[in-house]
Structure 1
Amino acid sequence: MRRPLTAVVAVAVALTASAAGAQPRAVGGRGAAATPVVAADQATRAVHVLRSDVRSWDAGRGTGVLWSWSADGRSELADLEPGSSWSNPSEAKLRELDGHRYLLATASGGLAAVVGYPGREVYWAAHTGPGNAHSIDLLPDGNVAVAASTGGFVRVYAASTGSRATRHAEVPLRGAHGVHWDPRTRLLWALGGRELVALRVDGPADDPGVTVVHRSTLPTRDGHDLAPVLGTKGRLWVTTGTAVYQYATGRHRFVDYPSSSRISAPGVKSVGDDPATGRILLARPEPGHSCVWCTSVLTFHRPDGTKRLVRGAMYKARWWTPRRD
């Protein structure tokens, strides 16, 4: 397996509101730092890591922004034409591999990237085509899974073989919107428009294979977000066009969960729970926003509240934690 690139201190781009400092630790106890939030912001064409202990953020002034990254202006990505391939950033996650931390990001224009945090070195990046790359995850062997909605596919790229590796295995999945590697089941879970599927990834890392091993029909149509329930082992968050669900991977069924009547809502683009506090974070389109699928306001539950990104057009937002089980 290709080893991750040595971290380097990159010069901050204009969109970086502050130096790439250390992430606040999410630990219990009085005075503990709050777990940050990461958001894919289509207004600035950037991913921002945001403090969760402030009322609002302003990327232009750097208020509440801990770290930012954009494919725009990155010379090492020029061959992937980010001017078009990085249009409408759609996904952002934190993952760990071999002791290194990485931002995982996709954009509707087709760019998918795994970028070192905080140094911004590119571990892997590719133009996945015009299929609306919508979600991404990092596998234990260093390969990368990508789901594309209009392309209707889930791919596993042999990213462990090089930073521009394009060899991949592919399975069709109509309306593919979410992908998540689950270390408990050792399966790659993927969410389509009408079903949740479990995929077995096999073969050598340099020539992976993917096989569907289980399919579950969604309770309602238009599957959108897929994420681990970090407060309850063996469960996944699943959102559709009309509701927010939890799915038990061991039982292969959708199950009830606490406060579902308050959390579940139509059109939720992303959902997740903070492993340090149990607080729930949701991103859903904001009525009247100039971008019909975006929001400048994130919603929180337990306790309830909202926070605003000034002039923001966020699509998905997640807790900035590498945990996935």
Structure 2
Amino acid sequence: MRKSIRTIVACMFIITTFRMAHASTLLLCGGAQVVEDEVVTQDGRPQLKEVWRWRPEQSKEMPVPMMRKFITTDDCKAVSGGKEVLITSSGDAVALVSHVTGKTLFYATVKNAHSAEILPSGLIAVASSSAESNDGDRIVLFDRNRPDAPVATLPLSAAHGVVWDRKREVLWALGGKELLQVHVSGNATHPSLVVERRVPIPPGEGHDLQIAGDAALLYVTNSKAVFEVDPETLTFRRFQTFAGMKNIKSLSINPGSGQLVYTQADPGVWWTYTLHFMNPAQEIVLPSMIYKARWFLP
């Protein structure tokens, strides 16, 4: 019995250590790759140390035409307890990649894909943003076991963000002008998406959507400001940490340390060469451009 207890405690320690280790690393995307970096200090200044990298041409599981769609990755997030990484590209693609082996587990063509989320049922929701053709401006749902075969869609103009709310068991979806609370029902073969609540966002084009670790708040960025949103009342208030700041492309809060990382578009472009932190305030100038940064949160 004592041996069993010691084994359980040891396993809990290993799991906790794994989570803490990844809580200090970042996923960065923006070009034809996704990189996981550890934040380290060198000569008194923060630096990035690469610990993991994914490039589409290394994915033998994908056909070459699909690889080419990942030339402009625009979102990346750890899912499935940190075992997998979900990647989208405005080059019209989404992929689910094993963080352990680097193997591509799922891929699909999605017009101007801007964000994705994996649901407890194994479904994958993707925000398909504006497109000149008629196959964008919607949320697209996939069964992770059936690559490149949509099973449901929901119209949403300029769709840019999706996050799963574990507490309320709903999907939040951000468009250019509105925020939706979506109920997902049915099974993986025949799911349905039903809008339960719909609210306009403050003036400005909706861009990034995140949820607090305790699901107490949603964070919404648009072209003009950053907002905290109460999921119960759907009221928006300015996130004072970003007072007066525009064109915030991504934000992510480390639940362990409280440190916030964000990207802000450089003048005249949609990308940046600078990684910004708050709590404490720091900056890291990068050798290549990035679009979004996310704490690796299992």
Q: Same-fold call, TM > 0.5?
A: yes
Determine if contact 1:173/1:192 at 8 Å carries over to the other structure: yes
Equivalent residue for 2:27? 38
Q: Secondary structure at the match of 1:114?
A: strand
Is 2:116 the partner of 1:125?
no
Contact 1:34–1:51, Cα closer than 8 Å, also in 2? no
Pairs within 5 Å for 1:3-152: 25=18, 27=20, 35-42=24-31, 45-54=32-41, 55-57=46-48, 64-78=49-63, 80-83=65-68, 85-96=69-80, 101-128=83-110, 131-150=111-130, 151-152=136-137
* Structure 1 counterpart of 2:125, one-letter code: A
**More strand per residue: 1 or 2?**
2
Structure 1: runs of 5 or more not aligned: 1-21, 58-63
What TM-score do you get using the length of structure 2 for normalisation? 0.86
The question of whether the paired residues in 1 share the 8 Å contact of 2:248 and 2:265 is answered with yes
Cα shift readout 1:279-313 (whole Å, capped 9, x = no counterpart): 1111111237xxx2111111111111111222x11
Alpha-carbon distance in structure 2 between the residues aligned to 1:23 and 1:37 = 18
- The two structures have a TM-score, normalised by structure 1, of 0.79
Cα displacement (A) at 1:254: 1.4
SS for the counterpart of 1:81 is helix
Which one-letter code corresponds to 1:91 in the other structure? D
Q: 1:300 aligns with which of 268, 272, 277?
A: 277
From 202, 207, 217, the equivalent of 1:224 is 207
How much has 1:255 moved relative to structure 2? 3.5
Q: Select the structure that is richer in helix.
A: 2
**Percent of aligned positions with the same letter in both sequences?**
29
Match of 1:15 in 2: none
Tell me how far 1:272 sits from its aligned partner. 1.5
Distance 1:175 1:117 in 2: 30
Q: Relative to structure 1, is the Cα distance of residues 80 and 199 closer, same or farther in structure 2, using a 3 angstrom cutoff?
A: farther
> CA contact under 8 A between 2:226 and 2:242: conserved in structure 1?
no
| 2:61 counterpart letter in structure 1 | E
- 254, 265, 273: which is aligned to 1:274? 254
- Asked if the contact 1:158/1:208 (under 8 Å) is kept, the reply is no
Residues of 2 paired with 1:72 and 1:23: CA distance? 33
